[in-house]
Amino acid sequence: MNRLLLISLLLFIFVTSCYEEMEFAPHPDGISASFNLNGKPTACDSEQLFMLYPVEHFGNFSAVLNCQPNFTIYIDGKYIEDGDSCHFGVIGKETESIIEIVNPSGKKSNYRLFFTTLPVVKFEYNYKKILDEPKGPSRFSMITHDSDFSAKCCGIETRGGTANRRPKKSFGFEFWNNYECRESRDTSLLDMYTDDDWILDAVYNDRSRMRNRVSFDIWDMMQRDALSRNCDVLYSSVKGNYVELFLNQEYQGLYCLSERVEGKMLGITPERSGQQGYLYKSEGWNDVTRLKELPDTTVDFENKWHDWEQKLPDPDQQLVWKPLYRFVDFMANSSDKEFCRHVNEYLVLDQVIDFYILINLIYGIDNVGKNYMLASRSAQSPFYILPWDMDATWGRNHRGDETKHNDVVKFRVFERLMKLNPSEFKQRLKSRYKSLREDKLSDKSLMAIFENYAKLLVESGAHQRNNSVWDEEKSDIQQELEYISDWLSMHSQYLDNYIDTLELAETN
């Protein structure tokens, strides 16, 4: 009898879970699904009554229309039969076509159709609000100029500390094999790294919408150059692509879809390297994250320690804080003699040199107590220092206020290395900085990256659409680029002189 009850209970749980899976995997919006152009659906805002469709470039555009049975479609007043080609003429970022949709019951709906050159991302879910955690089940779709990808099983949550308090939220999402056990599934998006976890950055407080993206592009360029010179660096730059986002048929504006920095990408997991690597992320400002103090280390049963978060190994599987304790203790408490003698056992100086140049070039004062990571290949290996979340840079802080141009970034690591000059740190820094500034990090090269992104965001129409939704944080990209250019001109001149005039004391 007990066995029969157990079997019945298990059967009930199984059936219930199946219903729950159906409940949390809503079908695409009926309007969006009623027709497609060239085999791809549009994204629909059911409140503002507009649609968005991605194209490769603006110009003459025609598309074959396919509609669901018993739906009737009119485009700009002209009836288009299923399978017919519709010529839209010359389209641009402000082109607007009127789509009239008549459903099988005869109800008419009119939508304005716009075009974009950016990919479009959609999430659909059966609950009112996306939470900070846990991830809520949802359906994911991405439409590009040449593809339409969807995933029925996906989890989404809001993300970020300060960012989570802003009206426009950033999101993290993860692909699953199913809703029942939420087993993660690796997926590649827009030719980026294959992973299960992804980030949608709201680029809300940055008036240029691109400071973080540009900074990571520069870090990518620096790291590739360092690797070509056989320097010891850990490649850690994340790629990103701008998209336009819809949540439950409501347009959310411009976002940057980005990779995460994680152990597999860094190549420091046992599966990738054959040994256990370690990754810690700084998430707050205090003397421990600034590497000035080692507090109590006897309590290590949580995945966070004084605003440090363990990312690798998986804290749900194993908590390992000793490599970080050892590092913080050395940076905070070692004597000058001990520091000079043993610093290479704790830090990879090739990586620190490039980190120093990047953080000082962008004046990343928000990236040296918070918003950086430490990664090592094993418990006995030195740490590589990695940047993260570089939106409070290029002349503005996290509130958007102007920052000074005639200063360098203060950080315990930098200060001790510059003071003591172990392993000819300053000589190597000067040589590396001069080489990069002559070409890859010249003012002209740096501003070209900003200008290319500005052209993409403005000419796609995405920047204007984002301003229309988030009126309180409306920005003028060209005006902000002028500010960045002026700030960079003054700051780089100061930094050039600062590094050029460093006193090269003998190595201790």
Provide the residue range defining the domain that includes 383.
216-229+267-500
Q: What is the pLDDT, as a whole number, of residue 504?
A: 78
pLDDT exceeds cutoff 90 at 473: no
Does residue 221 sit in the same domain as residue 83? no
Q: What is the pLDDT, as a whole number, of residue 323?
A: 96
Residue 260 lies in a domain: no
Q: What is the pLDDT, as a whole number, of residue 298?
A: 77
Mean pLDDT across the stretch 374-398? 97
Two structure tokens written together for 41? 């659906």
Residue 508 lies in a domain: no
Q: In what order do the strands lie in the sheet with 304-305?
A: 304-305, 308-312, 278-282, 372-376, 384-387
Q: Give the C-alpha separation, 175 to 186, whole Å.
A: 7
Give Cα separations from 180 to 19, 140, 344 (angstroms). 10, 17, 47
Does residue 357 sit in the same domain as residue 492? yes
Residue 250 lies in a domain: no
Q: Give the C-alpha separation, 323 to 236, whole Å.
A: 20
Q: The domain that contains 75 carries what CATH number?
A: 2.60.40
Does residue 279 sit in the same domain as residue 390? yes
- Final residue before a domain boundary, out of 116, 138, 153: 116
Does residue 88 sit in the same domain as residue 222? no
Residue 51 lies in a domain: yes
Does residue 224 sit in the same domain as residue 77? no
pLDDT exceeds cutoff 60 at 455: yes
| pLDDT tens column, 93-104 | 999 999 999 999
pLDDT exceeds cutoff 70 at 17: no
Nearest to 69 by CA among 44, 104, 101: 104
Q: What is the pLDDT, as a whole number, of residue 234?
A: 96
Mean pLDDT across the stretch 446-458? 98
Contact call for residues 28 and 124 (beta carbons, < 8 A): yes
| pLDDT tens column, 112-122 | 999 999 999 99
pLDDT exceeds cutoff 80 at 10: no
Grade residue 1 by pLDDT with cuts at 50, 70 and 90.
very low
Does residue 109 sit in the same domain as residue 224? no
Does residue 312 sit in the same domain as residue 444? yes
Q: What is the pLDDT, as a whole number, of residue 452?
A: 98
Grade residue 30 by pLDDT with cuts at 50, 70 and 90.
low
Residue 74 lies in a domain: yes
Q: What is the pTM of this model?
A: 0.92
Contact call for residues 375 and 236 (beta carbons, < 8 A): yes
pLDDT exceeds cutoff 50 at 501: yes
Mean pLDDT across the stretch 348-352? 98
Which regions of 38-169 does DSSP assign to beta strands (E)? Answer: 43-45, 50-54, 59-67, 72-75, 78-80, 85-91, 97-102, 108-116, 120-124, 136-143, 148-159
Grade residue 9 by pLDDT with cuts at 50, 70 and 90.
very low
Q: What is the pLDDT, as a whole number, of residue 103?
A: 93
- Final residue before a domain boundary, out of 81, 116, 151: 116
Mean pLDDT across the stretch 378-401? 96
Structural domain total, the chain: 2
On average, the pLDDT of the chain sits at 91
Nearest to 282 by CA among 179, 370, 175, 178: 370
| Long-range contacts formed by 56-59: CB under 8 A, 24+ apart | 56/117, 56/145, 56/146, 57/117, 58/90, 58/91, 58/92, 58/93, 58/95, 58/115, 58/117, 58/459, 59/90, 59/91
Mean pLDDT across the stretch 78-87? 96
Which tops the pLDDT comparison, 24 or 227?
227
Two structure tokens written together for 16? 């219930």
Residue 125 lies in a domain: no
Mean pLDDT across the stretch 341-351? 98
